[in-house]
Amino acid sequence: MAYDIGFLGIEGIRTAVAWARLEGWNPGLNDAVPFAAEDPEGFLGLRVGGELAATISLVRYGASFAFLGFYICHPEFRGKGLGHALWNEALQRKPARCIGLDGVKAQQPSYRQSGFVLAHENIRHGGLKPGGYAQRHPALIDLSAADAAAIDRFEQRRRLFPAPRPRFLAEWLRHDALALRRDGEIVGYGVVRQCQEGWKVGPLFAENVGDAETILRGLLTKVPEGTFFLDTPGTNQAAVDLAVSLGLKPMFETARMYRGPAPEIDTAKVFGITTFELG
């Protein structure tokens, strides 16, 4: 079957996000713009006769790290090898020293064939917002796009993300975002955004579980009654325990895998992953 592969513009990225919704991945309502911000050529599409048939993202954060996601083939085009062709093209076009992904556990053998190695499991927890979240701690401060550089430095200093991502953060911090400050220094922060279903908290980075809960409680003052979600690394038992203590239930798991030397992330301080799509 003849096909063409090329980079997706913002409308193509919006299509990929819409497909992710149909797959049950529950993306944010306004994810397309921040997802495109860090790497304008981070999304690829395969077209058959001018019609988009498959998508993939391989967003590069500098020269050393990239993250793979949105690997979706439209149902009408499945079983024809098109997704695999797009996968190979993405890895060839956008090489990086290390590539990460969050994939469903059933696909681990397939990812291993492409050189990916399991680092840890992630667990999505979901449930109703608990009561009693009307006030926030006085040490919490609102963040905006203007704080992207400071938050990026915080992430790199604490080994919370594998590479700088200032352009992504400049857009991500347009969502409701709070930082916890102690002795004039940021010691943690979190973001909450509205999704197709409910709200997702991510990232949630903190020095310890007490700080993480303080930030989380503050973020939930910005959320109406209803469902919210928190994606925790399985290696951080304190994060899992925090989610359970709030009445959240495990919904499904993904496998965090890396191809190339795995980054040294301090997952003990990661209480909520930013997104399964971009790391």
* Last residue within a domain, chosen from 79, 96, 113: 96
Divide the 279 residues of the chain into consecutive groups of 10 and give the mean pLDDT of each group. Answer: 93 95 92 94 96 96 93 94 95 92 89 95 95 83 97 97 97 98 95 97 98 96 93 97 96 95 96 96
**Co-location of 151 and 205 in the same domain:** yes
Count Cβ atoms within 10 A of the Cβ of residue 63 and give its class: 0-12 exposed, 13-18 middle, 19 or more buried. exposed
User: Same domain for 181 and 217?
Assistant: yes
Residue 109 within a domain:
no
Domain-located, residue 212: yes
- The answer to whether position 247 is within a domain reads yes
CB of 229 closer than 8 Å to CB of 198: yes
Tell me the CATH number at 152.
3.40.630.90
Please state, in angstroms and rounded to a whole number, the distance separating the CA atoms of residues 250 and 20: 20
Check which CATH number belongs to the domain holding 52 and give it.
Answer: 3.40.630.30
85 and 212 assigned to the same domain: no
Clarify whether residues 12 and 80 are in a common domain: yes
Domain match, 141 and 244 both: yes
Q: Are residues 91 and 140 in the same domain?
A: no
Query: What's the pTM value of the predicted model, to 2 decimals?
Result: 0.95
Amino acid 219: pLDDT = 96
Tell whether 111 is covered by a domain: no
The answer as to whether 118 is a domain residue is: no
Cis peptide before 203 (omega within 30 of 0): yes
In a domain, 279, yes or no: no
Q: Do 150 and 35 lie in a common domain?
A: no
Are residues 173 and 233 located together in one domain of the fold?
A: yes
Same domain, 138 and 240: yes
81 & 139 share domain: no
- Structural domain range at position 50: 4-96
Question: In one letter, which amino acid is 257?
Answer: M
Pick from 33, 30, 114: which is nearest to 71 by CA? 114
49 in the Ramachandran plot: left (φ > 0), alpha (ψ -120 to 50) or beta? Answer: left
Exposure of 166 by Cβ count < 10 A (0-12 exposed, 13-18 middle, 19+ buried)?
Answer: middle
> Domain for residue 232, yes or no?
yes
What's residue 246's pLDDT?
A: 93
Shared domain for 92 and 211, answered yes or no, is no
Same domain, 151 and 221: yes
User: What is the spatial distance between Cα 155 and Cα 162, in angstroms, rounded to a whole number?
Assistant: 9
pLDDT at 105: 83
Last-in-domain residue among 96, 113, 141: 96
Side chain identity, residue 251: M
Pairing of strands 199-206, 65-73: unpaired
- How many angstroms separate the Cα of 179 from the Cα of each of 132, 143, 271, 272? 20, 7, 14, 14
Nearest Cα to Cα of residue 16 among 67, 66, 70: 70
Residue 8 domain flag: yes
Number of domains in the chain: 2
